[in-house]
Amino acid sequence: MKTIFDINFKDKKALIRVDFNVPLDANFKVTDATRIEAAKPTIDKIIEDGGSVILMSHLGRPKGVDSQFSLQHIVSTVSEILGLPVQFASNCIGDVAQNAASNLKSGEILLLENLRFYNEEEAGDVDFASKLAKLGDVYVNDAFGTAHRSHASTTIIAQFFPQNKCFGALLAKEIESLNKVLKNSQKPVTAVLGGSKVSSKITVIENILDKVDHMIIGGGMTFTFVKALGGSIGNSICEDDKQELALEILRLAKQKNVQIHIPVDVVAANAFANDAQTQIVDVKNIPDGWQGLDAGPKSLENFRKVILESKTILWNGPLGVFEMENFANGTIQLGNFIAEATQNGAFSLVGGGDSVAAVKQFGFEDKMSYVSTGGGAMLEMLEGKILPGIAAILD
Ligand code: AMP
């Protein structure tokens, strides 16, 4: 796996695909700069080598050129975070981009305008990719968030740099962390899969069954399993057409010697609302009119034991409706258990949109071994897919 650390960038122009798709407020100020900060190590290394940096990214989902989605809005934030001036090219291809790139000197940084101002970007257009490719000497992919897309700047462009392409520090770290769970894991390995639906996690569950010793299934998915096993789940969320699949997962797990842990009790509510009445009930006996919205105390005690015995932990998806304060306890406790296991030496990886949001919201970010930056990309890797953006560099 070739990374930026295998290349000396002195006097080279590095064309880096970053993921600067950051949220902006009504005044076009960056409200969360995590993704920009995440790209800093790669940029720093290239500048320290004596190279120059050309940054390309998308922002939002513009339909054609639209100043609302201009990357000009983020120039000052990027400059602040990098501690260096950042030049801006008002187009990502053509004379404007070409001249700006040609004039770039060692130690200088150029940010190109939004790649998605051109439909050709998402279409994976080869001609568009070749125009981008002319701007740099080395292609670096550091955008994990879009690595599962076959876009011009994430995948197609790599063919123009057969000898001069590599992974950035962030993307390399993402791959390495996932491999620590999926390939070179220390046993016992535990996957915690929560969230709302079985249907969106099914491929992950099937792929992961070959890699783990324990699987904790929580969140809304719980009830499809419990109903399939004959329990009464009241008004809890359930995918009736996935019951057979749930039973099949349980059969497969047994065959593969994977221990499945499902909540035994839940915090049930008489409405889907934070101020609803609540009671702790047996997961198999939820009264009519009530719905399970969080894991109960006995379940959490069981999960705690499993987590603390694990050497490798993967966490995707909340254990309850964590957005509502009264149903956040399970997710917070789970975060505490994983933090404790991590402190005791386990490797923990958190990924997939909502769990990352929960980890940040409850302050666990620095207590996990690694928090992935790519929701969809991470899920696809967990599904066992080879991401096109990664394959293009390995080719
Ligand atoms: P996902 O996007 O599949 O990871 O699902 C995340 C969502 O699942 C969050 O918004 C949670 O509020 C929701 N969720 C977790 N547990 C439950 C539950 N018991 N009932 C309904 N929704 C849930």
Q: Across residues 31-58, what is the average pLDDT?
A: 97
321 C-alpha to ligand 1 centroid (Å)? 5
Which H/E stretch holds residue 96?
Answer: helix 94-102
Best residue among 192, 193, 196, 382 to mutate for probing ligand 1's pocket (most ligand atoms within 8 Å of CB) is 196
By annotation, the residues acting in catalysis are: 35, 197, 353, 376
| Cβ count near 237 (within 10 Å) | 18
Residue 200 CA to residue 328 CA, distance in Å, equals 21
In the predicted structure, residue 64 carries a pLDDT above the cut 90: yes
274 lines ligand 1 (CB under 6 A): no
Q: Across residues 85-114, what is the average pLDDT?
A: 98
Residue 252 CA to residue 68 CA, distance in Å, equals 50
Contact (CB, 8 A) for 342 and 220: no
In the predicted structure, residue 44 carries a pLDDT above the cut 70: yes
3-state secondary structure of 282: strand
Give the atom of ligand 1 at the shortest distance from the alpha carbon of 195.
5
CATH number of 185-382: 3.40.50.1260
> ω into residue 188 within 30 of 0, thus cis?
yes
Query: Are both 4-172 and 185-382 of the same fold?
Result: yes
In the predicted structure, residue 355 carries a pLDDT above the cut 90: no
* pLDDT tens for each residue of 267-293: 999 999 999 999 999 999 999 999 999
Partnered with residue 38 across adjacent β-strands are: none
Write the DSSP symbol of residue 307.
Answer: H
158 lines ligand 1 (CB under 6 A): no
The contacts of residue 206 (CB under 8 Å, 6+ apart) are 249, 252
Best residue among 321, 325, 332 to mutate for probing ligand 1's pocket (most ligand atoms within 8 Å of CB) is 321
In the predicted structure, residue 237 carries a pLDDT above the cut 80: yes
Give the atom of ligand 1 at the shortest distance from the alpha carbon of 266.
19
CA 346, distance to chain mean position in Å, is 20
Residue 353: per-residue pLDDT: 67
| Cβ count near 83 (within 10 Å) | 9
Residue 260: per-residue pLDDT: 98
Q: What's the mean per-residue pLDDT of the chain?
A: 96
Query: Among positive and negative, which fits the CA dihedral 53, 59, 65, 70?
Result: negative
In the predicted structure, residue 247 carries a pLDDT above the cut 70: yes
Closest Cα to residue 361, out of 338, 337, 333, 332?
A: 332
| Cβ count near 225 (within 10 Å) | 24
Contact (CB, 8 A) for 317 and 355: yes
Angle between helices 375-382 and 169-182 (to 10 degrees): 30
* pLDDT tens for each residue of 126-165: 999 999 999 999 999 999 999 999 999 999 999 999 999 9
The residue whose CA is least distant from atom 18 of ligand 1 is 220
- pTM of the predicted model, to two decimals? 0.89
What is the DSSP secondary-structure string of 220-270? Answer: GGHHHHHHHTT-EETT----GGGHHHHHHHHHHHHHTTPEEE--SEEEEES
Which H/E stretch holds residue 163?
Answer: none
Q: Which two tokens stand for residue 372?
A: 């992935």
* In the chain, where the domains are located: 4-172, 185-382
Residues in the chain: 395
340 C-alpha to ligand 1 centroid (Å)? 24
Give the atom of ligand 1 at the shortest distance from the alpha carbon of 355.
4
Range 244-247 contact pairs with CB under 8 angstroms and sequence separation of 24 or more: 245/198, 245/202, 246/198
276 C-alpha to ligand 1 centroid (Å)? 17
* pLDDT tens for each residue of 3-12: 999 999 999 9
Residue 39 CA to residue 317 CA, distance in Å, equals 25
Query: Among positive and negative, which fits the CA dihedral 238, 223, 201, 318?
Result: positive
In the predicted structure, residue 99 carries a pLDDT above the cut 80: yes
Closest Cα to residue 317, out of 386, 242, 220?
A: 220
Phi first, then psi, for residue 16 (nearest 5°) are -110, 125
Residue 316, CA distances (Å) to 209, 243, 311, 339 in order: 14, 21, 17, 15
Tally the C-alpha atoms within 13 A of residue 84's C-alpha that lie toward its C-beta.
17
Please give the class, per CATH, of domain 4-172.
alpha beta
